[in-house]
Structure 1
Amino acid sequence: MAGFGWKLHGDGKTLMPGEIVKPDERLSWTRTIGLGAQHVVSMIGACFVAPVLMGLNPNLALMASGVATVLFLLMTRGRVPSYLGSSLSFVGVSAVIGSRGGDVGTLTGALLVVGLALTACGVAVQLLGAQVIHAVLPPPVTGAVVMLIGFNLAPVTASTYWPQDQWTALAVMLFTGLALVVLRGFWSRIAIFLGLLFGYVLSWVLDRTAGVIHSVDGSGKVTDHWRIDFSGVEQADWIGLPSFHGPSFEWSAILVALPVLVALIAENAGHVKAVGEMTGDSLDDKMGSAISADGLATVLSTSVGGPATTTYAENIGVMAATRVYSTAAYWAASAFALLFGLCPKFGAVVAAIPGGVLGGITVILYGMIGLLGAQIWVRNKVDFAQPLNLVPIAAGVIVGIGGVSLKISDNFELSGIALGTLVVLTGYHALRWLSNAASRRGAPLLDGGTTTYDDAK
């Protein structure tokens, strides 16, 4: 079966300097299981932060990540070593849907539709070739959408998490920033997780030394309350299945979530490219399969109440550090994730993370997501002296981050990420077509010349 049949690398115990373990190889099973545990530790912070921020069950998210990774490995026939965890790209979507009265069923329904769309895109890429991604989603567009997804989250931190405990939030922000900058190697890759642990311990200490805090709670009411509520932890069982729920579908929620499709395609394509470069095996022929696998994994997860999934850069970092690309380690990681998912008490501990701690984490995390968009522009040398790049992106970013809305009817309007993405995507391609048409007539539409995809790269 695809994904099985690993060859033992050497004696399975030692690696010479610069030596790599290929995806179809493995070390001894003891070392392979240990590497699987390391992959879980590296991804677990982001994997449970995402569902907590979206109001979803962290145990179910961990269990879904294990199943999603197995599905991914099977669909890519063991050639693309990667871990699929909870996607942070939808945190802003969840906030918007929640502000409009949607519940977790509405959220997971919207995410399920995005998963179906992502699957269809993967099939198209498999049939037409990887170049179709570059044609439809050039770097100027992709960078802008990723930036919208991150910076659109700023009000969530400012109005929801930070006010719950501003001093703890400030301390967590400083600690996490220090950890990201000062720590090296593996520890720097779990800096967000370390920040959560630091904030958790700090909140516990403050509860016992300073007493209750007078501030807004998770519901937005100003009350006297403890920073950490362990009642859910005490009631949770040690072993049991996570709670499941079915999705519900609303067009308004679906339209808010669909723009994230751009970021997911770009993310998957980038990760496949990165893994191909590390292993020395061109994986362009598997790019469509990888995107489809992520889409189907998202459909599977959201159909039972879990979050959307995506390939994790944290695990790619682990491979870069260890030079072990064996997919056997990912099968081991999947098994660990499934076991964690069967411990409700673990999920209750995660769910008890104080709002102030999340405030300090999200200040950095949301900003980092937004700046990934700028990183896409820098790496691809996007020239904003070209009006074709500047005009649609400038308009789309302001529309998306500023919360501009466009009322279509009494029951339907576009705003935020959805409207900003629409402006960027349609604006860029429409202006590019008009500019090229004008150039052929000898009268360029945009001063400063036109920009092809190759120029943008």
Structure 2
Amino acid sequence: MSQNWSWKLHGDGRNVATDAIVAPTERLSWPRTIGFGAQHVVAMFGATFLVPLLTGFPPSTTLFFSGLGTMLFLALNRNRLPSYLGSSFAFIAPILAAMGDHGMGAALFGILVTGALLAVVGGIVVATGTGWIDVLMPPVVTGAIVALIGFNLGGAATANYAASPWIATLTLVTICVVAAGLRGMAARLSILIGVVVGYVATALAGDLDFDAVRSADWIGLPEFSSPTVTWSVVPMFLPVVLVLIAENVGHVRSVAHLVGDDSINDRTGTALIADGVATGLAGLGGGSPTTTYGENIGVMTATRVFSTAAYWVAGAIAILLSLSPKFGALLNTVPAGVLGGVTVALYGLIGLIGVKIWVDNRVDFSRPANQFPAAAALIIGIGDLTLHAGEMTFTGITLGTVAAIVLYHGMALLERARGEE
């Protein structure tokens, strides 16, 4: 193996000094590496399995492409950039819209096209750098796009909540209590713990049907599906490319900062290509689209272990889990009330990430060029303005994204022409 494809043993492989960092190209002993890999699976699992449950995609297939995509990401980045590729929440709204009008095959086609476009963007970044991304998507625009995607999903969350208000409330309260009352990894797993509590309460009430679980095989291949060429759904998916760019760029910069290695930023273009290819593969086979996961950055921040070897283990574990139809059938028994409690919090948090982007970058909302684009984008997204042009459908996320970009750059140009910064 070349040096880029192997890992240097950190110290004796067993002990890590309190202030030491296990670099991406290092590893601990294999038993410890397997343990850290399993921890990454636990960290990603709560969010990753929710996407297929919310969209109707097979959970086992999603886990398969999640693990495969993670391994592909590591390989293309030559083990220099640690990341887990879990299910992307940015796709939920366009997937639901596409499935409602045209079926799963059309949604998969939208995912496939989105992945291809992201890979193309990655190739451009490799050739030109990331400067043009910063110009096209300043913090006020990025924050607006991320916020409107989260808030746009509010209707789906409340619909599930209303299906079983008491279970949904129990789930939501559990998440809040765990997040505020516990520490460490338990607090980070508040969503997963909330799901478990709501699920157990539903089971004790006798409202779960396990017939499909009993009849499912212990071992078997995931349920693969193929995309159906449906160009009319593509506009609904295009804004997601911008979100994936922001997530990947943010992930690379975060890891570079935490590790203290600015050369990791040179992997930005390759990260975009890898996530694009992984998302495209999921679209070809029936899995949920992928993105780099902040949950796993949290694990790395807490443990100071950035070894990519642990992520290879995590990817392998995810694939092994996907090969049990019984496990997938069990995931499909999660009731709507539990999903309602989770998504009321989760979709709101996605929206607040956009707000946090504004706060962290000190966006000046006294400027009209910041005020109006963000305001218009949010209302268009939350109200889910939908326009039809022939066979093409433009949803609130698409139109809100266009509004944020066009209004900002148009108004900023007018401000400059007037002599203002």
TM bucket by the smaller chain? over 0.9
| TM-score normalised per structure 2 | 0.97
Counterpart amino acid of 1:416? G
CA distance in 1, matches of 2:59, 2:385: 33
Unaligned runs of 5+ in 2: none
Please say if residues 118 and 265 of structure 1, whose CA atoms lie closer than 8 Å, have aligned partners that are also in contact: yes
Q: Does the alignment pair 1:238 with 2:218?
A: yes
Shift of 1:427: 1.4
Shift of 1:249: 2.8
1:100-111 to structure 2, matched below 5 A, reads 101-111=101-111
Q: Does the alignment pair 1:309 with 2:279?
A: no
Which structure carries more helix by proportion?
2
Partner of 2:357: 376
SS across alignment from 1:256: helix
Q: Could you list the structure 1 runs, at least 4 aligned residues long, displaced by more than 6 angstroms after superposition.
A: none
SS across alignment from 1:85: strand
Counterpart amino acid of 2:351? G
Shift of 1:413: 4.0
Q: Does the alignment pair 1:418 with 2:398?
A: yes
Please say if residues 235 and 392 of structure 2, whose CA atoms lie closer than 8 Å, have aligned partners that are also in contact: no
1:278-293 to structure 2, matched below 5 A, reads 278-282=258-262, 283-293=264-274
Q: Does the alignment pair 1:276 with 2:256?
A: yes
1:255-274 to structure 2, matched below 5 A, reads 255-274=235-254
Please say if residues 98 and 104 of structure 2, whose CA atoms lie closer than 8 Å, have aligned partners that are also in contact: no
Partner of 1:178: 177
Counterpart amino acid of 1:276? A
CA distance in 2, matches of 1:303, 1:426: 32
Shift of 1:94: 2.1
Identity of aligned residues (%): 46
Partner of 1:189: 188
Shift of 1:355: 0.5
Partner of 1:323: 304
Counterpart amino acid of 1:393? A
Q: Does the alignment pair 1:432 with 2:421?
A: no
Counterpart amino acid of 1:155? G
CA deviations on 1:40-79 (whole Å, 9 max, x unpaired) are 1111111111111111111111111111111111111111
CA distance in 1, matches of 2:180, 2:230: 42
Please say if residues 95 and 156 of structure 1, whose CA atoms lie closer than 8 Å, have aligned partners that are also in contact: no
Partner of 1:134: 134
- The answer to which of 345-354 and 391-400 deviates more is 391-400
CA distance in 1, matches of 2:87, 2:243: 14
Q: Does the alignment pair 1:364 with 2:345?
A: yes
SS across alignment from 1:82: coil
Partner of 1:250: 230
Partner of 1:57: 58
Counterpart amino acid of 2:38? A
CA distance in 2, matches of 1:394, 1:195: 33
Please say if residues 301 and 308 of structure 1, whose CA atoms lie closer than 8 Å, have aligned partners that are also in contact: yes
CA distance in 2, matches of 1:415, 1:34: 43
| TM-score normalised per structure 1 | 0.89
1:117-132 to structure 2, matched below 5 A, reads 117-132=117-132
CA distance in 1, matches of 2:414, 2:29: 60
Q: How large is the Cα RMSD of the aligned pairs?
A: 1.3
Please say if residues 92 and 150 of structure 1, whose CA atoms lie closer than 8 Å, have aligned partners that are also in contact: no
Partner of 1:168: 167
Shift of 1:130: 1.9
Unaligned runs of 5+ in 1: 208-226, 440-448, 451-457
Please say if residues 236 and 393 of structure 2, whose CA atoms lie closer than 8 Å, have aligned partners that are also in contact: no
Partner of 1:453: none
SS across alignment from 1:403: coil
Shift of 1:98: 3.4
Shift of 1:414: 2.3
SS across alignment from 1:303: helix
Shift of 1:315: 1.0
Partner of 1:210: none
SS across alignment from 1:243: coil
Partner of 1:71: 72
CA distance in 1, matches of 2:307, 2:385: 47
